Chains A and B, each alone.
Chain A
Amino acid sequence: MKKVIFEIAENSPLAAGVYRMRLAGDTSAVTAPGQFVNIALPGHYLRRPISVCDGEPGALTLVYKVVGHGTEAMAAMGPGERLDVLTGLGNGFDTALAGDRPLLLGGGIGTAPLYWLARVLRAEGKRVSAVLGFNTGDDVFYEDEFRALGCDVTVATADGSYGVPGFVTDALRPGYSFYYACGPEPMLRAVCEKASGDGQLSFEARMGCGFGACVGCTRETVNGPKRVCRDGPVFRKGEIVWTR
């Protein structure tokens, strides 16, 4: 974890209610795809946890959805403005588990952190498939970006307005070595039930601090209570206990 002042280099709409923010600053604490940052926003007491969509030395890309007052304020910010950010939070995905044909499963804004993961896996020479699920065709983002990395991309929409009609679980095809999933909890649960084989899943949670102090985001696992922010947000399939 490192507290860093970033400068906004870009903040622009990407899809319905979805924005891409590029930040310039010290990224030395950001070490793995699947990690997140926690952003202080003027006028809002708690920080906003946002997954890292892509990272390289000196630059971070965040893709976020406007879901409330905080992300609304984020969307209104412009290039040159500064943000106080806690960086390098969470454990991230373990690419050593991927095997030679990993499958990425993204649900809505949960697609964002899979982009960096895809880039790392492609750089490691893996054959990467991605199934990206959205509510409607207007919500789709990064389909071309995943394709440009050399991924085999399938898009599914719940209303059938674009790509395969249905959820990511309706577009699953066998033949993958390991899966990585990120999205809303009902989607992750459906993935766990319907996708064969082992995988890692990244969870969302309402967080107080984002670095393990308040235990506000705890969920039960087979290994006891775990903090989504500190022990996660990525958990192995076999660890997860579904409580709701």
Chain B
Amino acid sequence: MDALSVTLCGVELDNPVIPASGTFGYGCEFAEYYDINCLGTFSFKGTTRAPRFGNPQPRIAECGAGMLNAVGLQNPGVEAVIAEELPRLAKVFHKPVMANVSGFSLEDYAYTCARLDEQPQVGWLEVNISCPNVHGGGMSFGTDPAAAASVVRAVKAVTHKPVIVKLTPNVTDIASIARACEDAGADGISLINTLLGMRIDLKRKRPLLANGTGGLSGPAVFPVAVRMVYQVYEAVSVPIVGMGGVSSAEDVIEMMLAGATAVEVGAANLVDPYACRDIIAALPGAMARYGIENLRDIIGGAHG
């Protein structure tokens, strides 16, 4: 094993850096810019059973050190992903990919996860119970321990690959929800999805986003994410994928010290399409500066 490699739910990653769902499409745009096989893996665009257009415009707003999005899970639906996106991806990406799934009912989650679980390219299922930008699903499953556990059980009953549950930070006690997911059979926990936010357009004197609220991401949320990863690490024993405002190799190391086995990078990809490639390239230098020989040795290292 190499100094950067980690093992996520039994699958080895060359490095812990994973572009986060919703910031990397289905991979092909970025494959035009650099060889995406340098990534640990990536989490593809949140996929639902049926195609979704998403929310009306505008969907994007800016703020100090970050952004809000209210895309609302635009995606072509799981059958189009299997028929079109995965074959296209196979030509440019030769590692297992993380399949990000959203739903509006237990049946939705189970159906979509089962379909993606059958695909040889898929290495992990990342089950998003935390999208703040859709109504009647998404985050409503992720704000209650019993509801979160019911999604995990429904998915685990019909799949074989590791199931990583993506949690929302918009809760009082994220550790209890993580614990409920672990008890229900989750193989890993990823966090944090975006924080619910709002901007108001001073000219129109109305919320700027057509959806009203949006999800806050970018460097602004990094300390919140580190704190929550730290708390969840104390609460569960399954691996954690940490994310939220990660923008540098140092941020990756900090997130791993808090308890993350792997680290997703989101908004940074939108500002600089080369962000993940450059973070991976910067990791050995940053490790040397902080006296780190192997990244896998520092997971949870900040805990006494």
- Residue numbers of A with Cβ under 8 A of B are 1, 3, 40, 44-47, 70, 86, 205-209, 211-220, 225, 230, 243-244
- Extra contacts besides A209-B23, A218-B71, A243-B56 (9): CB < 8 Å: A1-B273, A40-B272, A45-B66, A45-B218, A206-B57, A206-B59, A208-B60, A214-B270, A218-B57
With A206-B57, A207-B60, A211-B29 given, is the CB distance from A47 to B71 under 8 Å?
A: no
On chain A, the residues within 8 Å of B74 by CB distance are 215, 218, 225
With A1-B273, A216-B71 given, is the CB distance from A44 to B62 under 8 Å?
A: yes
Question: Which chain B residue lies CB-closest to A243?
Answer: B56
Q: List 24 A-B contacts (CB under 8 A).
A: A45-B66, A45-B219, A46-B67, A46-B270, A206-B59, A206-B60, A208-B69, A209-B23, A209-B269, A211-B29, A211-B273, A212-B25, A213-B270, A213-B273, A214-B60, A215-B74, A216-B71, A218-B54, A218-B57, A218-B71, A218-B74, A219-B57, A220-B53, A243-B56
Q: Mark B44-81, 1 if CB is under 8 A from A, else 0.
A: 01000000011011111111111101010010000000
With A208-B60, A218-B54, A225-B74 given, is the CB distance from A213 to B30 under 8 Å?
A: yes
On chain B, the residues within 8 Å of A3 by CB distance are 272-274
On chain B, the residues within 8 Å of A244 by CB distance are 57
Total interface residues in chain B, CB < 8 Å: 35
A209 to B61, CA, bound (A): 12
Q: Residue among B29, B62, B65 with the most chain A CB within 10 A?
A: B62
A44 to B59, CA, bound (A): 18
A44 to B65, CA, bound (A): 7
B21 to chain A, nearest CB (A): 11
The 8 A-B residue pairs whose C-beta atoms are closest, nearest first, are A209-B270, A216-B60, A206-B58, A208-B60, A212-B29, A46-B62, A216-B59, A208-B270
A19 to B121, CA, bound (A): 50
With A209-B273, A214-B71 given, is the CB distance from A45 to B53 under 8 Å?
A: no
A77 to chain B, nearest CB (A): 19
Q: Mark B253-279, 1 if CB is under 8 A from A, else 0.
A: 000000000000001011111100000
A220 to B61, CA, bound (A): 20
A62 to chain B, nearest CB (A): 19
Of the candidates B45, B53, B269, the one whose C-beta lies within 8 Å of that of A218 is B53
Number of A-B contacts (CB under 8 A): 88
A213 to B58, CA, bound (A): 16
Contact B273 A205 (CB under 8 A): no
On chain A, the residues within 8 Å of B109 by CB distance are none
On chain B, the residues within 8 Å of A209 by CB distance are 23, 269-271, 273
A153 to chain B, nearest CB (A): 32
Q: Is B290 an interface residue (CB 8 A)?
A: no
Contact A45 B57 (CB under 8 A): no
A46 to B56, CA, bound (A): 20
Q: Is B103 an interface residue (CB 8 A)?
A: no
Question: Which chain A residue lies CB-closest to B70?
Answer: A216
Of the candidates B24, B56, B57, B66, the one whose C-beta lies within 8 Å of that of A205 is B57
A62 to B33, CA, bound (A): 24
With A46-B62, A213-B23, A220-B53 given, is the CB distance from A230 to B29 under 8 Å?
A: yes
A175 to B185, CA, bound (A): 70
A214 to B58, CA, bound (A): 13
Q: Is B188 an interface residue (CB 8 A)?
A: no
Question: Which chain A residue lies CB-closest to B33?
Answer: A1
On chain B, the residues within 8 Å of A218 by CB distance are 53-54, 57, 59, 71, 74
Contact A213 B24 (CB under 8 A): yes
B95 to chain A, nearest CB (A): 19
Q: Is B40 an interface residue (CB 8 A)?
A: no
Beta-carbon contacts under 8 Å, B221-256 to A: none
Question: Which chain B residue lies CB-closest to A185?
Answer: B57
Question: Which chain A residue lies CB-closest to B54?
Answer: A218
A31 to chain B, nearest CB (A): 14
B108 to chain A, nearest CB (A): 20
Q: Is B22 an interface residue (CB 8 A)?
A: yes
On chain B, the residues within 8 Å of A225 by CB distance are 53-54, 74
Of the candidates A45, A206, A230, A243, the one whose C-beta lies within 8 Å of that of B64 is A45
With A1-B33, A216-B69, A220-B53 given, is the CB distance from A45 to B271 under 8 Å?
A: yes
A204 to chain B, nearest CB (A): 11
Contact A45 B65 (CB under 8 A): yes
A207 to B45, CA, bound (A): 17
Of the candidates B218, B269, B274, the one whose C-beta lies within 8 Å of that of A213 is B269
Contact B67 A208 (CB under 8 A): yes
A127 to B270, CA, bound (A): 41
A244 to B64, CA, bound (A): 30
On chain A, the residues within 8 Å of B29 by CB distance are 211-213, 230
On chain B, the residues within 8 Å of A216 by CB distance are 59-60, 69, 71
On chain A, the residues within 8 Å of B25 by CB distance are 212-213, 215
B264 to chain A, nearest CB (A): 14
A70 to B64, CA, bound (A): 12
